[in-house]
């Protein structure tokens, strides 16, 4: 069964065409330049601007489902950097929305780091919405990173964020459930038990809906308390690390020389430390 890292690097939903564009693996080709045979591989295709349509279609496939492919989305942003005329603000916003629900992983910041050079909107009638939407997404991501989930829902559902909800996140299937999965990851790492009422405030759901949600996860509920199954993150276990250090011959020679060094206080302390180390090694 693939782990989280392998699924992030190569999601199972990724087609071979997308894989070739993302990883730079493709069919080798050859040509002749001044009588010299030149062989090059398909890795150059990842920087081919004509492939932007394929990657954008793949992004919209992600928004219409619960699929997520960070590396493919980063490839879009990189092509926008190299080809500013291809820039599409709606595509960028949808990429950021998908990355938002990857918290606490740093996908969102990876995407933002590729947005430093943005062309200004040439059409005054249709200004670029990203400068106003980006700060909102950054605020929401910060709240998720800080596990301030009730504050996240309050801000997200406010009038100030209406445009974000009605024009962008509404197009992302199960966006709110994806946020709740962020909550699940945080709760699994920090709790063994949590009250249904408190968890409901994290989910922004009624208590009955929260109980149904956690039941799908296989979590049990006893007397209004959700029992979080044991996992490596929420189980405190002490570990003892013991190392054996083999001392070289030069160390033994140093022990023979040290008694002949003037009895400075610091040297005496050093002798004690080294002698102790030699005896316990």
**Cα–Cα distance between 192 and 230 in angstroms, integer?**
7
Whether 266 is covered by a domain: the verdict is: yes
* 225 occurs within a structural domain: yes
Please report the pLDDT score of residue 96 as a whole number: 96
Are 19 and 136 members of one domain? Answer: yes
Q: Look up the CATH number of the domain holding residue 152.
A: 1.25.40.250
Residues 155 and 227 in one domain: no
| Helices and strands in the chain, H and E counts | 14, 5
Counted domains in the chain? 3
Supply the pLDDT for residue 252.
62
- In this prediction, residue 148 carries a pLDDT of 96
Alpha-carbon span 41 to 144, nearest angstrom: 42
Instruction: Tell me if residue 131 falls in helix, strand or coil.
Output: helix
- Secondary structure element (H or E) that encloses residue 31, with its range: strand 29-33
The reply to whether 218 and 83 lie within a common domain is no
In a domain, 206, yes or no: yes
Taking the C-alpha atoms of residue 209 and residue 217, their distance in angstroms, rounded to an integer, is 13
Can you tell me the distance from the alpha carbon of 185 to that of 254, in angstroms, rounded to the nearest whole number?
Answer: 54
Q: Are residues 57 and 166 in the same domain?
A: yes
Q: Is residue 243 part of a domain?
A: no
Distance CA 14, CA 209 (A): 33
Among candidate residues 86, 65, 93, the one with its CA nearest the CA of residue 163: 93
**Residue pLDDT tens, the chain, 281 long:** 345 666 777 787 788 888 888 876 444 444 444 444 444 444 556 778 888 999 999 999 999 988 899 999 999 999 999 898 999 999 999 999 999 999 888 999 999 999 865 555 555 567 889 999 999 999 999 999 999 999 999 999 999 999 999 999 999 988 999 999 999 999 999 999 999 999 999 999 999 999 999 999 999 999 899 999 998 888 877 777 777 776 666 666 666 666 665 655 556 666 676 676 666 65
Same domain for 180 and 266, yes or no, is no
Residue range of the domain that includes 255:
249-280
**11 part of a folded domain:** yes
Residue with tokens 């980006």: 134
Whole-model pTM? 0.75
Q: What pLDDT is attached to residue 242?
A: 77
Q: At what angle do helices 175-190 and 196-203 cross, to 10 degrees?
A: 140
Long-range contacts of 56-65 (CB under 8 A, 24+ apart): 56/88, 56/91, 58/15, 58/18, 59/91, 59/94, 59/95, 59/98, 60/94, 62/98, 63/94, 63/97, 63/98, 63/171, 63/172, 63/173, 64/173, 65/13, 65/173
For residues 95 and 209, membership in a common domain is answered with no
Report d(CA 145, CA 179) in Å as an integer. Answer: 12
**Same domain (yes/no): 89, 54:** yes
**pLDDT computed for residue 39 by the predictor:** 40
Residue 106 inside a domain? The answer is: yes
Token look-up 């005054």 returns: 124
Q: 168 near 94, Cβ under 8 Å?
A: yes
Q: Are residues 214 and 258 in the same domain?
A: no
Integer Cα distance of 192 and 277 in angstroms: 42
- Both 111 and 209 in one domain: the answer is no
The predicted pLDDT at position 120 comes to 53
Burial of 137 (0-12, 13-18, 19+ CB in 10 A): buried
Pair (230, 195) in one structural domain: yes
- Sorted by sequence, the CB contacts under 8 Å of residue 26 that are 6+ apart come out as 20, 41, 42, 43, 45
For residue 69, being part of any structural domain is answered with: yes
With residue 38 as reference, give the H or E element that holds it: strand 36-40
Residue 241 lies in a domain: no
The pLDDT of residue 201: 96
Do 56 and 31 share a domain, yes or no? yes
Res 107: pLDDT: 93
Q: Are 143 and 151 in contact (CB under 8 A)?
A: yes
Same domain as 152, residue 31 = yes
Q: Following DSSP, what letter does each residue of 204-247 receive, concatenated?
A: TS-HHHHHHHHHHTT-EEETTEEEPPP-TTT-----------PP
């Amino acid at each position: 069964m693939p782990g989280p890292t392998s699924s992030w690097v190569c999601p199972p939903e990724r087609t071979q065409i997308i894989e070739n564009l993302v990883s730079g693996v493709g069919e080798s080709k050859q040509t002749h330049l001044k009588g010299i045979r030149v062989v090059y591989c398909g890795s150059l295709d990842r920087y081919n601007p004509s492939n932007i349509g394929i990657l954008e279609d793949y992004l919209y496939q992600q928004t219409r489902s619960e699929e997520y492919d960070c590396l493919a989305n980063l490839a879009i942003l990189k092509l926008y950097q190299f080809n500013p005329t291809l820039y599409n603000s709606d595509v960028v916003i949808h990429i950021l929305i998908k990355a938002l629900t990857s918290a606490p992983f740093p996908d969102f910041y990876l995407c933002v780091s590729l947005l430093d050079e943005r062309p200004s909107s040439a059409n005054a009638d249709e200004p670029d919405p990203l400068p106003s939407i980006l700060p909102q997404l950054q605020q929401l991501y910060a709240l998720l990173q800080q596990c301030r989930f009730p504050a996240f829902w309050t801000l997200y559902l406010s009038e100030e964020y209406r445009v974000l909800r009605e024009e962008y996140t509404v197009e992302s299937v199960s966006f709110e459930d994806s946020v709740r999965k962020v909550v699940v990851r945080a709760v699994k790492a920090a709790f063994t038990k949590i009250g249904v009422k408190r968890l409901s405030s994290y989910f922004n759901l009624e208590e009955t809906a929260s109980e149904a949600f956690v039941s799908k996860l296989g979590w049990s509920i006893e007397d209004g308390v959700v029992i979080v199954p044991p996992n490596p993150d929420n189980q405190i276990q002490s570990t003892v690390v013991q190392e054996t250090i083999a001392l070289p011959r030069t160390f033994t020679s140093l022990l023979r020389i040290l008694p002949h060094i003037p009895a400075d206080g610091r040297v005496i302390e050093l002798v004690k430390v080294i002698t102790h180390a030699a005896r316990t090694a």
